[in-house]
Structure 1
């Protein structure tokens, strides 16, 4: 059951504290709470619940706010609950009206929050939030001019720079090997045999023999070696395949004698399906002497993960979700996410059209790497008056003018910003190791990373603008006029909505 909150958002000065004082309006959590459009998406979140049946659910602000806190601070689910319990600013951020020294919800509730809030909903919140951040006097005047030119029948001019790129978000799994996966699969079949045998224990004198000790010894004999030849590895894989095949025959025998798969736990039944598919794949690879197969399983606990061949130095293959992102005006957006490998050049048209729907005009230029610069994409951008970065097709020119060289360096400098966004998401936030175990919850975690990253970017720019205005009123700033002027220009480029005062 979901109880919709009809009251207006709580003001900072009305937040009740058990001690004297009040919350500061310039606190980062208060500022972030004012930027996120909570009310606009509460109805979409409440549609997941029944209005009459069930216990009252937590509000959308509390659910999304807790996930944002976890990602922003880089802590675990349990630590998130403890931080909310101890910090009144965090309690205000998730929508509480007064400070409470009691636990608001259990740490296990964050799992349900990730299941209920989809990646699509987080992306909508992110887009609406960034649009709210960009609502400035200069941007509003530009939008009015665009609307007026559209009413007059004139085609609006292209504006802005759109940066596109793709990356991989590795999941929290150990590096997979065929022998290790088969050993884990064999252990799971042995557990399933034990569970099925308990159902018909009186009909059999002895439990089917699985040779688990011998199988483990055969596995360790090869796994513990520092250097293993191809012949030894192939022989060990063949043995594990034989053990699993014998266990499958025992499972069929137990089912014929009266044991049912319905009495297995849901996790065991799902594991049986995964092990069956893994056995089929590994048997085909062994018999055909191949190294790759479609939809290859690399983790029994997370069978949705696929190997993503990236060709990067040090990491030729990554195991996780591949995502395609866009960046403009310093903000990053998640456009496409998939657990299967895909060619990111096919997303260029969709991303450019999404930019037009979001801003009302096409970008002036699109900055991408070589894989995006196909003939089809070049022709499509040329029809819409969009300049695509990079050298033209054909033989490289022997002599290049200074203007073209300068333009190429400028394009590469601009494109580096999205690489910096990926670095920030992987070093500062959790994109380098996604700890969620389910496919849809992992997608939610990845989407929240982009939302929190945009919040952090906006707060850092506000601090830069404040520092600029502060230094311009001091004697130290005026004595260092050259460096101050450079800093002011940098701030004006990044913060169009915060005018810097002239000397």
Structure 2
């Protein structure tokens, strides 16, 4: 059942309301008035039942998700900050200062699952709508892709085979199966032999240990397939299928499994000197040049070619921002297409017999594409996209959309703060207010 918030203007006889103790010119207060909270109420209300105990109010949950992304906090740390900060509480719709967290951190997990990918896209849509006047001033959009890394350890054959052995032992214990041998002691000895496996003096021993680990893993998987009941086989069908694939996969195979708990993880070669491979999913960014607003973000599972991501990315831009851009400026990785969904694809090309004006215009457009790189970097490091902790394919998309929304709102907060500062400086010069007092007011 959907929960309700108190009226923020309703006064209490015994306790002061938040409006009386906070600065009305604080950037979070101004931002809370610009966001259409009723849109979230109308969109997410059908996801709740009409019976049972009232849940956490929708504005509180959406506000917590936004604060987490804007200030780069975790599910637990945002609760700690919320109790200490009256501006966080007012932003989430509270009328009076609260001494306890609004919910358990696990409730944020349940709310993300409730709204899903569509709900995360609606939050991003609102972040774009708050700055729609700035977006309409241009016909261009910058598009580029990046890797969104999953929260997994660097996959090696030995690591994966050890996980298969441990998972098989766990399933056997849950189902009460009497194993011939669990290989716990043998596994530790073989893992020690894998240390410094590339050293010439240890390579032969390490290769033999890896071969033995593969044999043991395959033996335990096949033993489970023989001894499990039909109902249990159906229950663990997907896990056993992935375990079998890990046991038999070779170095140059396609569609390999790099993580047992995240089998959809793909290997993306980015060519970076410090990190040759990244394991996760590919994400397409769409940024408006000049104002640097993210107007579209699309997650792709696997490692598709950049050119094949153009059409879904442009479709996503039109769906979320409700704007059709004339030009999409991309890098040389998007070769092969000049027009997609009525949008002209602009890529750097060698000089030709064009007029000088046209040549300079194209050069400026292509140079502006570099602005998308710092936007991607700030979204990753400042809005919790550097490592994706959300589970599954849906978690990839939800994490990307919420990170983009956090980036847009953070940029808007910065603009609000700058506007307040310049307004006070103007008034200070007009009415001769000391500069120290101006900076204290901000």
Tell me the matched-pair count: 426
Structure 1 residue corresponding to 2:247, chosen from 273, 276, 282 = 282
Compute the RMSD of aligned alpha carbons: 3.6
* Residues 160 and 363 in structure 1, CA contact (< 8 A), matched pair in contact too: yes
SS at the partner of 2:125? helix
Q: Does 2:210 match 1:211?
A: no
SS at the partner of 1:315? coil
Q: Does 2:398 match 1:444?
A: yes
Structure 2 residue corresponding to 1:416, chosen from 366, 370, 375 = 370
Q: Does 2:154 match 1:185?
A: no
Query: How far 1:173 moved relative to its partner?
Result: 1.4
Query: How far 1:195 moved relative to its partner?
Result: 3.1
Query: How far 1:239 moved relative to its partner?
Result: 1.0
Q: Does 2:348 match 1:390?
A: yes
* Residues 162 and 366 in structure 1, CA contact (< 8 A), matched pair in contact too: yes
Query: How far 1:282 moved relative to its partner?
Result: 3.4
Q: 1:281 to 1:293 in 2, by over 3 A?
A: farther
Partner of 1:237: 210
Unaligned runs of 5+ in 1: 143-158, 199-203, 477-503
Q: Does 2:42 match 1:43?
A: yes
Structure 2 residue corresponding to 1:292, chosen from 244, 247, 253 = 253
SS at the partner of 2:281? strand
SS at the partner of 2:194? helix
Structure 2 residue corresponding to 1:311, chosen from 249, 271, 281 = 271
Aligned positions of 1:90-105 closer than 5 A: 90-105=88-103
Query: How far 1:178 moved relative to its partner?
Result: 1.0
Q: 1:112 to 1:243 in 2, by over 3 A?
A: same
Q: 1:12 to 1:436 in 2, by over 3 A?
A: farther
Structure 1 residue corresponding to 2:325, chosen from 363, 366, 370 = 363
Query: How far 1:438 moved relative to its partner?
Result: 3.8
Aligned positions of 1:306-385 closer than 5 A: 306-328=266-288, 329-352=291-314, 362-374=324-336, 377-380=337-340
SS at the partner of 1:101? coil
Query: How far 1:238 moved relative to its partner?
Result: 2.1
Partner of 1:484: none
Structure 1 residue corresponding to 2:148, chosen from 169, 172, 181 = 169
Partner of 1:223: 195
Unaligned runs of 5+ in 2: 431-442
Partner of 1:23: 22
* Residues 169 and 432 in structure 1, CA contact (< 8 A), matched pair in contact too: yes
Query: How far 1:323 moved relative to its partner?
Result: 1.0
Q: 1:357 to 1:176 in 2, by over 3 A?
A: closer
* Residues 297 and 401 in structure 2, CA contact (< 8 A), matched pair in contact too: no
Q: Which has the larger radius of gyration?
A: 1
Q: 1:103 to 1:356 in 2, by over 3 A?
A: closer
Query: How far 1:28 moved relative to its partner?
Result: 2.3
* Residues 25 and 420 in structure 2, CA contact (< 8 A), matched pair in contact too: no
Query: How far 1:349 moved relative to its partner?
Result: 4.0
Q: 1:385 to 1:165 in 2, by over 3 A?
A: closer
Q: Does 2:228 match 1:255?
A: yes
Whole-angstrom distance in 2 between the partners of 1:339 and 1:12: 49
* Residues 390 and 396 in structure 2, CA contact (< 8 A), matched pair in contact too: yes
Larger displacement relative to structure 2 (238-247 or 460-469): 460-469
Q: Does 2:403 match 1:459?
A: no
TM-score (norm 1): 0.74
Whole-angstrom distance in 1 between the partners of 2:210 and 2:23: 63
